[in-house]
């Protein structure tokens, strides 16, 4: 499986439509996202894309046309239920849900309401579903494993929303990008160039860094605004320098949320309790790394890995139950070997061992700690001896 890195040149802003247009310009076919979207239970829409030239720059434009102006309003639980019941792949569901949760959380904070009460109103809900799910489908189809983004144009003025006229950037847009410390550059344009859906994609999936990228393709996604420069998103697709071109298709991939924070004023006992609390809440991994902060104070870097759907909940646990004043989190894709447990017969009785595979090939077998601890206590043997017995039996029976 080829691992692709995408760099987003957001000189003219960022929106879901611009992103989809750039993906189409890089080779995403209409069928790859319109057919899966057609399986979702909402109607009254169509999409149009085609070649577009602005000031001598050629690319692809993308537009959503609503054929039914009246649409039901949807809240986050409605959208979660719709996506989870859909035939979309697990990766597309996970990415889409993470984007909707990011958007709803920001709107809830701005409006001072509960996340589940945020209303994606009529037309806006349809556009959000098409662009968010379409973006997730495009990322999967093109094999993009990480997004990087340039600084964003900080424009001014006002924009019309379902709740009235709002300043630019819209409050929810600013909230999402504030959370990830997105960098800005001043812009003289009196337009909304970064939309809330665009901000949700960037805040959830992108790093605001310039990667050491070997560029293989460049796509241009055009919008409809008339600006002194081409209104387009440039999407550079390639590989990180020094990265092999392909990774074995035998490995699995998925998306996770990585949460980090620096803590310099909690005792070891409290940090131990915090780790137990995070694991019990569903964290896939929690680690502590010693570091030095300003004034050379010793501190701890807390790193949490979890599924995207519980990222916000674990971040709130960290805010509530630790002394930190803020957390950072981002979406990352993992490359994983397959893991399973298998029971083997040993001189000390049947025991579970952990089997690591790449496809059909067994890479390694290791004893399970809890299982070895149980057998060591039952037979009053040193734990290291039980490990050796389990390891020897596993090698002879499996490898």
The 3-class SS string of the chain reads CECEEEEEECCCCECHHHHHHHHHHCCCCHHHHHHHHHCCCCCCEEEEEEEEEECCEEEEEEEEEECCCCCCCEEHHHHHHHHHCCCCCHHHHHHHHHHHHHHHHHHHHHHCCCHHHCEECHHHHHHHHHHHHHHHHHHHHCCEEEEEECCEEECCCEEEECCEEEECCCHHHHHHHHHCCCCEEECCCCCCCECHHHHHHHHHHEECCCCCEEEEEEEEEECCCCCCCCCEEEEEEEEECCCCCECCCCCEEEEEEEEEEEECCCCHHHHHHHHHHHHHCCCCEEEEEEEECHHHCEEEEEEEEECHHHHHHHHHHHHHHCCCCCCEEEEEEEEECEEEEEEEEECCEEEEEEEEEECCEEEEEEECHHHHHHHHHHHCCCHHHHHHHHHHHHHHHCC
Using one digit for the tens of pLDDT, what is the confidence trace for 333-355? 788 888 888 888 888 888 888 88
Percent of the chain clearing pLDDT 70 (strictly above): 94
For the entire predicted model, the pTM comes to 0.65
Provide mean pLDDT across the span 73-78.
88
CA distances (Å), origin 94, targets 29, 53, 144: 22, 35, 15
State the Cα–Cα distance between residues 98 and 200, nearest whole angstrom: 9
Provide mean pLDDT across the span 361-375.
85
Using one digit for the tens of pLDDT, what is the confidence trace for 80-105? 999 999 999 988 998 999 999 999 99
Domains of the chain: 4-240 (no CATH), 252-336 (3.30.70.1380), 338-397 (no CATH)
Residue with tokens 């701005």: 110
**Does position 212 have pLDDT exceeding 90, yes or no?**
no
Percent of the chain clearing pLDDT 90 (strictly above): 52
The more confident residue out of 251 and 279 is 279
Residue with tokens 């979660």: 80
Using one digit for the tens of pLDDT, what is the confidence trace for 156-198? 887 777 667 888 888 999 999 998 889 999 888 888 999 999 9
Provide mean pLDDT across the span 38-59.
90
**Does position 381 have pLDDT exceeding 80, yes or no?**
yes
Please report the pLDDT score of residue 2 as a whole number: 53
């Amino acid at each position: 499986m080829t691992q692709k890195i995408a760099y987003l040149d957001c000189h003219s802003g960022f929106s879901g439509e611009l992103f989809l247009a750039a993906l189409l310009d890089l080779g995403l076919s209409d069928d790859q996202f319109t057919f899966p979207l057609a399986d979702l239970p909402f109607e009254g829409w169509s999409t149009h894309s085609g070649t577009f030239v602005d000031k001598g720059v050629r690319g692809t434009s993308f537009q959503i046309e609503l054929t039914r102006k009246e649409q039901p309003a949807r809240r986050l639980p409605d959208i979660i239920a719709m996506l989870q019941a859909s035939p979309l792949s697990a990766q597309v569901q996970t990415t889409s849900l993470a984007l909707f949760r990011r958007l709803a959380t920001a709107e809830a904070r701005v409006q001072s309401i509960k996340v589940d009460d945020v209303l994606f109103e009529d037309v806006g809900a349809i556009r959000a579903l098409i662009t968010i799910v379409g973006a997730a489908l495009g990322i999967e189809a093109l094999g993009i494993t990480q997004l990087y983004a340039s600084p964003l144009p900080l424009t001014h003025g006002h924009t019309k929303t379902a709740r009235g006229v709002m300043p630019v950037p819209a409050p929810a847009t600013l909230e999402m990008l504030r959370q990830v410390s997105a960098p800005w550059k001043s812009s003289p344009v009196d337009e909304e160039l970064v939309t809330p859906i665009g901000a949700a994609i960037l805040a959830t999936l992108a790093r605001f860094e310039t990667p050491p990228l070997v560029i293989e393709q460049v796509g241009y996604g055009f919008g409809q605004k008339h600006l002194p420069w081409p209104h387009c998103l440039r999407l550079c697709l390639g590989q990180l320098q020094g990265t092999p071109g392909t990774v074995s298709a035998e490995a699995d991939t998925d998306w996770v949320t990585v949460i980090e924070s620096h803590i310099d004023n909690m005792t070891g006992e409290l940090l131990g309790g915090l780790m137990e609390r995070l694991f019990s809440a569903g964290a896939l991994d929690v680690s502590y790394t010693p570091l030095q902060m300003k004034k050379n104070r010793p501190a701890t870097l807390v790193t949490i890995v979890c599924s995207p759907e519980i990222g916000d909940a674990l971040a709130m646990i960290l805010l509530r139950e630790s002394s930190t004043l803020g957390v950072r989190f981002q979406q990352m894709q993992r490359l994983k070997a397959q893991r399973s447990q298998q029971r083997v017969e040993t001189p000390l009785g049947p025991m579970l061992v952990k089997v690591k595979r790449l496809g059909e090939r067994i890479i390694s077998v290791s004893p399970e700690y809890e299982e070895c601890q149980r057998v060591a206590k039952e037979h009053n043997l040193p734990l290291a001896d039980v490990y050796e017995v389990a390891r020897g039996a596993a090698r002879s029976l499996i490898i």
